[in-house]
A and B are shown apart, each in its own frame.
Chain A
Amino acid sequence: AQTVTQSQPEMSVQEAETVTLSCTYDTSESDYYLFWYKQPPSRQMILVIRQEAYKQQNATENRFSVNFQKAAKSFSLKISDSQLGDAAMYFCAYRLPSTGANNLFFGTGTRLTVIP
C-alpha cells in the first residue's frame, strides 16, 4: 500500500526561528517525486518545494529546504527564519510515475502555528 505519514498533527515555532516538519512514506518503487504543499486558511493548495527521488542533493527554495533520506523513506521540511505568513497546514505528498492510476498520495497534514 502506498502511504504517507505525517506524525506531527500540530507544530509551533517562534517567529524567526527554525522548524522541521517530518514526513515518512512507504513505497516499493525506486522512481518517484516528493512534494510539500502549504494550505493557508484561505484553503488554497500552494506548492512549496519538490524533490526528485533520483537526486541525492536536497532541494531548497529560499527559506524552505528538505532533508531527503531515501533509504529511510523520510522527507522532512525545514523552514528557516519562520514568518507569520508561514502559518498553515503543510501536506507531504509523493507521486509515482504510472500509466494513469491514482499516483499522488498525501499525508494527513501538519498544522504549523507561528508565534509572534
Chain B
Amino acid sequence: DTAVSQTPKYLVTQMGNDKSIKCEQNLGHDTMYWYKQDSKKFLKIMFSYNNKELIINETVPNRFSPKSPDKAHLNLHINSLELGDSAVYFCASSQDRYGGGPGNTIYFGEGSWLTVV
C-alpha cells in the first residue's frame, strides 16, 4: 500500500482552467504538506496542515487553495492556471508538526506533474 498517494500523477491543462490535485495518507499522521518543485528542481513548501488546521501558508498566490476534509486528506485546488504554475507538486506527511523525536521524518508522495499550456 502506498503511504502517501496523490492523484493525478500527470495533468496537462490549458491556461485559465481550474484543477485539483488530491492527496491521501494512510500512515495515521497528523501533519500534511504541499511542496512545489520548479524546473530547477528546487523544493519549496506551500502549505502545511496539522489535524485539518492550516499552520503554514507560504507566499503563494491566492489562486491556490488547500482543503483538508480530514487529517488523512489534503487536496490542492488551483484556479485560473498560469504557465508559471507548471511544476511537480508533492504532497507529504509527518507524524507531527514539531519535527522532533520519531515523528521527524517527512514522507512524500510520488508527485503530480502539472503542465499548463
Listed in ascending order, the chain A residues whose CB lies under 8 Å from chain B are 31-33, 35, 37, 39, 42-47, 50, 52, 89, 91, 95-104, 106, 108-109
Contacts and interface: CB of A to CB of B under 8 A. Distances in A.
Given A45-B90, A50-B105, A95-B104, A104 B45 contact: yes
Nearest to B108: A45
Nearest to B113: A43
Contact of A43 (B45, B58, B105, B111): B111
A46 B106 CA distance: 10
Given A97-B100, A102-B48, A91 B43 contact: yes
B56 A47 contact: no
Nearest to A108: B42
A101 B56 contact: yes
Interface of B: 37, 40-43, 45, 48, 50, 55-56, 58, 88, 90, 92, 97-101, 104-111, 113
Closest 10 CB pairs of A and B: A97-B100, A45-B108, A100-B55, A33-B104, A97-B99, A95-B99, A43-B111, A103-B99, A44-B110, A106-B43
Contact of B58 (A95, A98, A102): A102
Given A43-B111, A97-B99, A102 B106 contact: no
Contacts of A98: 98-99
Interface of A is mostly: loop
Listed residue (B104, B105, B106, B109) with the most chain A CB atoms within 10 angstroms of its CB = B104
Given A44-B111, A108-B41, A109-B41, A100 B97 contact: yes
Given A33-B104, A91-B43, A95-B99, A100 B56 contact: yes
Nearest to B53: A100
A80 to B, nearest CB: 23
Given A95-B99, A102-B45, 5 more contacts: A44-B108, A95-B104, A95-B106, A102-B56, A108-B41
